[in-house]
Structures are given as C-alpha cells and as structure tokens.
Chains A and B, each alone.
Chain A
Amino acid sequence: MGILEKILGRHPHWGVHPDDHKRPAADAPLRSLPLPEVLRVPLQQHVGSPARPVVLVGERVLKGDLIAEPNGNISAPVHAPTSGRISAIGEITAPHPSGLPQLAITITADGADTWCERQPVADPLALAPEEISRRTAAAGVVGLGGATFPAAVKFNLGRRLRVGTLIVNGGECEPYLSADDRIMRDRATEVVDGLRIVMHAIGAREALVGIEDNKPQAITAMRAAAAAFGHVQVRVVPARYPMGSDKQLIQTLTGKEVPADARAAEVGVLVHNVSTCAAVHRALRHGEPLVERIVTLNGGALTRPGNVLAPIGTPVVDLLRFAGIRERPARLILGGPMMGIVLPHARVPIVKGASGVLAFDAAEARTPAAGPCIRCGSCTRACPMGLLPLEMASRIDADDLDGAAGLALSDCIGCGCCTYVCPSHIPLVQYFSYAKGELSTRERNRLREAATRRLAEERAARLQREAREKAVAAARRKAERAATKAAAGAGVPPLRERVVVTPTSETAT
C-alpha cells in the first residue's frame, strides 16, 4: 500500500478504502445456527423468473426435497432447507428495500432435520461437462457473491464461448463481511475441489483465485489447498473496494477489460465466487442441493458478531437473537454496508444471496444530511468505472434522464464509492437507481406502446374490413332485389348489372 506501489501502478487508481470492520467477526470460529422453528423460503432468490411451487400445503418434506421447480431458461429450483411440513404457500415481506410482498413457501420444521435421499458422485471430474451443469442446476446453485445468477447458466455460456480462465472471486471487499473469508479458511479444500469441478464444466485451462491482502489466513489456507494443482493459482490483490466486483477483479488479475454491453465470457474469462465453488462441491460430491449458507452477523448492535451456518429461509430475527442483541438496531442490512439493502423488518428470511446480516447501532446508522454538490470531483476519482457521477446526478436531479443515460448511466455498477466519498453526502447511488428504474419502466412502456399501436392498427383494419364486407353485402342485397324486380318484370336476370355493382361498392368504402 506504500507510495512505491502507487508509483509502480499496482495500486488501483479507482475505488475507496473504507474502514473494514471485519474483525473480530472474521476471526470468530464458524458456528451452526440451532434449527429455527419456521423457515420461509422465497420462490425468487435468483436473477430470472421465480420458481414454481411443486408441493401442497400440509405436505411433509425432507431436507433437500425439491419444493419449487425452475420456470423458464434463466431460473433456479428451490429445495426444502429442513425436514418438516409445508404450513403455507403465500405472500411474505420480501427481503427487498421496497418491503413489497413476494411468494414464499413456509415450512414448519419437525426438528429431525432428516436428509432426503442424496446422489453423491464419487468422481465428478469424470462426468461430462453437460452433466455437471445439469446437476448444478438441479441443486439450485446460484452465484453466492450477491449477484445470484444461476451458476449452471454461466457454465453453459463459458463452455459455448470457450472460456480459458476461471477467476475465483475471494475478494470480499465489502466492509463488515467475512463469510467468504471464513469459507476459505475453514473449507479451503472444498473450495478448491469445487473450482476444479467448475473448470471441468466450462473447459477452462487455468484458474486464478483473487484474494484481498487483508485476509492472510485465507491466503495461506487456499495456497495450501491449491498447492497440488499447478493450474490453480492463488493471487493476492490489494484490498480496495470494489475489488470483489467482477469487472475490477478481471482487470486486476488479467489486465483485460470487459467491453461495455458485453459479458466477461466474451473476453475469455468467467468469474465465480468462492462460496459458489464450495456449493458446487457439495452439490456434486455429496449430492446436497443449496439449502444453507454461511452468513456474517455483524454490526454494533450485536454482542457476539461472527459467521454462522444457517438454513436458507431463516428469519433474520432468529439470527440476530443467536448473535445476541446489545441494543435495538437502528438499521438492518442484508449484505454489506456498501451495496446491501435495508430490511423493512426483522421477520424477513435470508436468501441464497445473503452474505451477511448487519445490525447497525445508532452511531453506525447515522446518515449525514445531504448538501449541494461542490463539484469537487471526488466521485469521479473514486468511480471504478470512470464515470462522472456528479454530472449524471445533476442531470437526473433536473429530470434529464436521457442526458444521464448519455453519460453511460447504464455502466454504473452501483458500488457506492461515489456516495461514500462525497463531502456533501449526496445520495448519488439512489439517484442512479431511481434513474435506471425509471428508464427501464419507460423502455417497458415503449414496448407496450408499440404493441398498442399494432393493436390499434389491427382494429382499424378490422373495422375497415367489416365496413367493406357490410357494403358488399348491402350491394349484393340491393342487386338481388333489383334482379328479383327485373325478373318479375322481364323474366330474365340481367347478369351484367350484378358484375358492375360490386367494384363500385368496393371503391366506395
């Protein structure tokens, strides 16, 4: 971190270096949460369409049983996190800042925690890559770093684009969190085995494990576990937020830049989180679907911060009680302090992407009041994407969303560096989230309008057609009447007259 490194250019020029608050939670040994009585498992814990329930209320399930199946190409199944009875399928408050309802399956635990029948694979590396993808998908493994993108979909993408390098993300740059740190320290062999399975699944030649230099024990453990495998390298990266962001880690480790609007796989790399790799290991070697994860419990309002192994669907309140509550939390956060979301209340469940639950005391939750922008440019220097946050925010403030989009608003990764460094404490990220949401709503409306336009045109065409048909029919009736009259008069139907009438009525419409 010295001046020398800065001059040599190894120190990234972007990002921030917040106070990490990782200890003592990171050094406390991993504990297991006593089984909660009730688990609420949301049907959407991943990017993509929500899963579809395959169980009925009152049904008994075993731990690991499929309770909701994937729905569509990008989706993931959901499994029972413990054995028990399905007590409800309905709406609960989502772990989402909006506090809006979301569908979930509620399981009342029977306390036995009995596993269903598992199908372990002795040597996953001997399986066909497609089979690994299939089993990973069936186990409901999604990106556990927070993005929650279905892992198997990424495997297939990597295989199709012939990705050569697997990057394993052990950055964990978010302050307070140490779930990945803990898994690398305690389960390094599982992580390394998992990443070798992932490499096999995508056909990668090498794997780079990037770990921030503030986790020396994790680095040692991972180096020891990976020592036997020459194509797995553990690389130390500077501790700098947001090092754990895909694009920044790829740039730091390989020097490659992912072009805007392109996927990492297109430049020959694929990023998976260390916890995801461990989950792949469990899915293949043990046949266990993703039903539990390590969650960091941290924050000033807790007495015993640390990492716990908790079933998916555990209500946050159970976790907090387990960690001991010092005072009423001033703010509850799911995830890290930089990108995490505020929880509306403590009864919401944890999901697959929940790397931490933070209970902030009043001092930690104090938000300085926002002032006017003084154009100091701190945000511009901190932005890891090289954007101009102040310019975008001032345009959004003046309702010029297109102007902000013209400054590459869509490239913003929402890391929060700009807001963190802002001396005026302007909620820049919220401006960008608002604008992104509003722009996508507009885009949706635009598509809808195009559909409406088509429908209106179809209706106009239909009305025209009907009018024409009516006119034709009227003309025909008239002609027939005339014909009958003529026939009554002369006895011979005047055939030519009928031929002449039809085209004139056609043009009249």
Chain B
Amino acid sequence: MTAYFLLLLTTALVNNVVLVKFLGLCPFMGVSRNMDSALGMGLATTFVITLACAATWMLEHWLLMPFDLGYLRILSFILVIAATVQFVEMVVGKSAPALYQALGIYLPLITTNCAVLGVALLTAQERMGFLQSLVYGFGSALGFTLVLLVFAGLRERLALARVPAAFAGAPVSFILASLLSLAFMGFAGLSFSQETSSCGSPFCP
C-alpha cells in the first residue's frame, strides 16, 4: 500500500509528466488561460489517462504479448486512446456544455496529447502489473492536473500584469513555465527510502 502511495507521489511530483518529462505541453500552454477550464481539462485528461492505462494494459497483456504483436503496439494504443477520448468528449458535451465550449478544440486534441500515449507506452515498456500501471497513470495525470491548474492560476494573474509589449503573450508564458519548472526542480531526487542516493523513481536508470 505504502509502495503504491509513494509511486503516486513520485509520478505526480518528482517525475512530473509536464515539467520533468516535457510531455503534454500542447494543452499545458493551450488550456491554461483560466483555472476553471484548466481544472476541467485536467480532470478529463486524468480520466483518459487512467482509462487508457487500464485498456492498454489489457491490450498489451491479452492480445499483443500472447500473439507476439509488439509491432502493433503504437497503432493499437492510439486506436484505443482515440476511442476513449471520443467517449470522454461525448460525456463532457452532454454533462458540462460550458466546459465543453471552454475546452474547445483541446478536448478532441487529448487524442494527440503525447502525455497519454507516453504514459501508456511507459507502463508497457516497464512491464508493470495492472494495479501498478493504473496507479502510475493516475499519478502522472494527477501531476498533469496539478501543474495545469497552478500554471493557469499564474497565467490568470499574468493576464492582469503589465507585461512589456516585447514579452506579452507566448514569450512571458514560456518564461513562466521555465520558472515553474525551476521550482519543481526542488522535488528532484525526492526519495523516501532509507538510502538517499537513489532518485526515488522506480524507473530511475
């Protein structure tokens, strides 16, 4: 149990999917204008990643591995993810029309969010167990949501700041992202085990 909790924490903070692995930067810059839509995007992505992790695990272990179809991995994963996203899009469109409009094009674009495919591929690559890959996916998504929410909060405030014309818009947002990344460096090497040398991630080389 503790192991799973620590896995969750390290995937969310130490090996943050956005700030450390640099995955999912498209929605990170795109849907971080306001906190409400960022939270919505984060939750939708969390749902997709967790579901995709479960689905791709099954795919991997019940279809690809037994029939030695490893070369179909990326193709079939994308298929499954795309279907999941379509499903989420329908659910959001039905249950939260305001959020659906706020997310706009970025909702279907979760399909091409490399964080989703990346996390799914990583779980397959590391040959994790079902529960472990689920926790890993959920932790990554949680980290994604946290960072997206925090970044949206910062950008909401940035929208009110008197940024010099030369930096207004994307440049200052990227500087902001870099400073946020700098702050997250504080979690680097976070380790709750006895020995302090390991960087804490079970996938640390």
Minimum CB distance partner of B157 in chain A: A394
Q: How far is the CA of A394 from the CA of B160 in the complex (A)?
A: 6
Q: For B162, list chain A residues within 8 Å (CB).
A: 372
Q: Does B74 contact A (CB under 8 A)?
A: no
Bound Cα distance from A317 to B159, whole angstroms: 48
Contact with A along B123-166 (1 / 0, CB 8 A): 00000000000000000000000000000000000011010000
Cα distance A372–B159 in the bound complex, in angstroms: 15
Residue A398 is within 8 A (CB to CB) of chain B in the complex: yes
A397 close to B (CB within 8 Å): yes
Q: Verify if A395 is at the interface (C-beta below 8 Å from B).
A: yes
| Interchain nearest-CB distance for B160 vs A (Å) | 4
Write the nearest CB–CB distance from B177 to chain A, whole angstroms.
21
Residues of B within 8 A of A372 (CB): 162
Residue in A closest to B162 when the chains form the complex, CB atoms? A372
Q: Which residues of B (150-194) have their CB < 8 Å from a CB of A?
A: 159-160, 162
Q: How far, in whole Å, are A397 and B160 apart by their CA atoms in the complex?
A: 8
Q: Within the complex, what minimum Cβ distance (angstroms) separates B72 from chain A?
A: 50
Q: Which residues of A contact B160 (CB under 8 A)?
A: 394-395, 397-398, 400
Q: Which residue of B lies closest to A393 (CB)?
A: B160
Chain B, Cβ-Cβ closest to A391: B160
Find chain B residues with CB under 8 A from A397 CB.
160
Shortest Cβ distance from residue B195 to the other chain A in the assembled complex, whole angstroms: 43
Using CB atoms, name the residue of chain A closest to B161: A394
Residue of B nearest to A400 (CB): B160
A395 to B160, CA, bound (A): 7
Nearest neighbor of A397 in chain B, beta-carbon distance: B160
- Docked complex Cα distance between A29 and B160 (Å): 53
A318 to chain B, nearest CB (A): 47
Residue on A with the closest CB to B160? A394
Q: What chain A residues lie within 8 Å of B159 (beta carbons)?
A: 398
* Bound-state Cα–Cα, A394 to B161, Å: 8
Q: Which residues from B are CB-within-8-Å of A398?
A: 159-160
A395 to B159, CA, bound (A): 9
Docked complex Cα distance between A372 and B162 (Å): 9
Q: Cα distance A400–B160 when bound, in Å?
A: 9
User: How does the 8 Å CB contact mask read for A396-415 relative to B, with 1 for contact and 0 for none?
Assistant: 01101000000000000000
In the bound assembly, the distance between CA atoms of A256 and B110 in angstroms comes to: 52
CA separation between A395 and B34, bound complex, in Å? 14
Nearest A-chain residue to B156, judged by Cβ: A403
Which chain B residues lie closer than 8 Å to A400 at the CB level? 160
Residues from 369 to 427 in A contacting B, C-beta threshold 8 Å: 372, 394-395, 397-398, 400
Bound: A398/B159 CA distance, A:
8
Q: How far is the CB of B163 from chain A (nearest CB, A)?
A: 11
A to B CB contacts below 8 Å, 7 in the list: A372-B162, A394-B160, A395-B160, A397-B160, A398-B159, A398-B160, A400-B160
Q: Across the A-B interface, give the 3 residue pairs with the lowest CB-CB distance, nearest first.
A: A394-B160, A398-B160, A398-B159
Please give the residue numbers on chain B whose beta carbons come within 8 Å of chain A beta carbons, in ascending order: 159-160, 162
